[in-house]
A and B are shown apart, each in its own frame.
Chain A
Amino acid sequence: MRWPTWRRRGESVSAAVRQARVGYGLLPLVAVAIVGCEEALTAPGACPDFCPSVVLEVRDTVIEGSLERDEWVRGYFQPYQAAALRIASPAAGIESRGIIRFTAFGEEFNEGGELRPIVSLDSFRVDLGLLRQFAGVDSLEFAIHRLPIDVDTTTTFLAVDPLFDDSTLIGTLVVPDSVESGTVSLVLPGDAFPTFAADSQRAAIGLAVRGAAPAWADVRSREGVASAIVPASLVRFVTIDSADGETAERLDTRQVGFDTFVAPDLAPPAPDVLAVGGLPSARAFLRVNLPLGIMDSSEVVRATLLLVPSEPVIGSMGDTVKLRALGLQADVGPKSPFFLAPADSVGAADVLVGATDTIEVDITYLVRPWQGDSTLARALLLTVTPEAGSLGEIRLRSTRSLQGAPAMRVTYVPLFFEASP
Chain B
Amino acid sequence: MTRRTAFLVLIALGLLSADRAAAQVSVYGVLGLGIPGRPASIRARALGSGLDAVDATGAVNPAATALQQRLAVSGYVVTSGRRYEAGTVNRGDLRDTRFPFVLIAGPIPGAPVAFALSYAAYTDRSYDLTSSDTVTLRGTPVTATDRIRSDGGLVDVRGAIGWNVTTRLQLGLGVHLISGSTRESRSRQFDDPNYGPVSQRGDVSYSGWGVSVGALLTPASWLRLGVSGRRDSRVEVTGPLLPVVETQLPTTLTAGFTVAPLRSLRWSTSISWRSWSDARDDIPDSFNLSVFDTWEFGSGVELGGPDIGVSRIPLRVGVRYAQLPFSPTADQPTEVNISVGSGLAFAGNRAMFEFSVERVRRDGGGALERAWHILFGLTLRP
Query: Can you name the residue of chain A whose Cβ is closest to the Cβ of B133?
Result: A47
Quick check: A297 and B146 within 8 Å, CB to CB?
A: no
Query: Quick one: which of A8, A27, A46, A418 contacts B312, CB cutoff 8 A?
Result: A8
Q: Annotate A41-65 by CB proximity to B: 1 below 8 A, 0 otherwise.
A: 1111111111111011010100000
Does B70 sit at the interface, judged by CB under 8 A? yes
Q: Using known A-B contacts A4-B309, A55-B146, A421-B282, determine if residue A37 contacts B97 with beta carbons closer than 8 Å.
A: yes
Query: Quick one: which of B27, B135, B144 contacts A50, CB cutoff 8 A?
Result: B27
Chain A residues positioned under 8 Å from B329 (CB to CB): 49
Chain B residues positioned under 8 Å from A300 (CB to CB): 196
Q: Using known A-B contacts A420-B284, A421-B247, determine if residue A46 contacts B27 with beta carbons closer than 8 Å.
A: yes
Q: Which of A188-211 contact B (CB under 8 A)?
A: none
Q: Using known A-B contacts A34-B97, A50-B31, determine if residue A58 contacts B200 with beta carbons closer than 8 Å.
A: no
Does B351 sit at the interface, judged by CB under 8 A? yes
Chain B residues positioned under 8 Å from A60 (CB to CB): 137-138
Chain B residues positioned under 8 Å from A27 (CB to CB): 8, 11, 353, 378
Quick check: A34 and B79 within 8 Å, CB to CB?
A: yes
Does A362 sit at the interface, judged by CB under 8 A? yes
Chain A residues positioned under 8 Å from B86 (CB to CB): 46, 49-50
Does B263 sit at the interface, judged by CB under 8 A? no
Q: Which of B343-363 contact A (CB under 8 A)?
A: 344-349, 351, 353
Quick check: A31 and B11 within 8 Å, CB to CB?
A: yes
Q: How far is the CA of A1 from the CA of B247 in the complex (A)?
A: 42
Query: Can you name the residue of chain B whose Cβ is closest to the Cβ of A53?
Result: B287
Q: Using known A-B contacts A39-B97, A302-B194, A302-B195, determine if residue A46 contacts B348 with beta carbons closer than 8 Å.
A: no
Quick check: A26 and B32 within 8 Å, CB to CB?
A: no
Does A368 sit at the interface, judged by CB under 8 A? yes
Quick check: A46 and B367 within 8 Å, CB to CB?
A: yes
Does B220 sit at the interface, judged by CB under 8 A? no
Quick check: A35 and B366 within 8 Å, CB to CB?
A: no
Does B77 sit at the interface, judged by CB under 8 A? yes
Chain A residues positioned under 8 Å from B309 (CB to CB): 4
Quick check: B146 and A3 within 8 Å, CB to CB?
A: no
Chain B residues positioned under 8 Å from A49 (CB to CB): 86-87, 288, 328-329, 365-367
Query: Can you name the residue of chain A whose Cβ is closest to the Cβ of B29?
Result: A50
Quick check: A45 and B130 within 8 Å, CB to CB?
A: yes
Query: Quick one: which of A1, A4, A41 contacts B349, CB cutoff 8 A?
Result: A4
Quick check: B347 and A20 within 8 Å, CB to CB?
A: yes
Chain A residues positioned under 8 Å from B330 (CB to CB): none
Query: Quick one: which of A4, A8, A19, A419 contacts B204, CB cutoff 8 A?
Result: A419
Quick check: A58 and B204 within 8 Å, CB to CB?
A: no
Which of A155-163, A167-175, A409-417 contacts the other chain?
A409-417
27 contacts between A and B (CB under 8 A): A1-B307, A3-B381, A4-B306, A6-B348, A20-B348, A23-B344, A23-B345, A24-B346, A31-B15, A34-B77, A39-B95, A40-B94, A41-B126, A45-B130, A49-B328, A50-B89, A51-B30, A51-B129, A53-B287, A53-B288, A299-B200, A300-B196, A301-B196, A301-B197, A301-B198, A302-B138, A421-B237
Which residues from chain B sit less than 8 Å from chain A, CB to CB? 4, 7-8, 11, 14-15, 18, 25, 27-28, 30-33, 67, 69-70, 77, 79, 84, 86-89, 91, 93-97, 126-131, 135, 137-138, 144, 146-148, 150, 184, 186, 188, 190, 194-200, 202-204, 237-242, 245, 247, 279, 282-284, 286-289, 306-309, 312, 328-329, 344-349, 351, 353, 365-367, 376, 378, 381
**A-B CB proximity, top 5 nearest:** A23-B346, A46-B86, A45-B129, A4-B309, A49-B328
Q: With A44-B129, A420-B237, A421-B245 given, name 15 new contacts (CB 8 A).
A: A20-B348, A23-B351, A24-B346, A43-B91, A50-B28, A50-B86, A60-B137, A302-B195, A411-B195, A413-B200, A415-B202, A417-B202, A420-B245, A421-B33, A421-B282
Which residues from chain A sit less than 8 Å from chain B, CB to CB? 1-8, 16, 19-20, 22-24, 26-28, 30-31, 34-35, 37-53, 55-56, 58, 60, 297, 299-302, 362, 364, 368, 409, 411, 413, 415-421
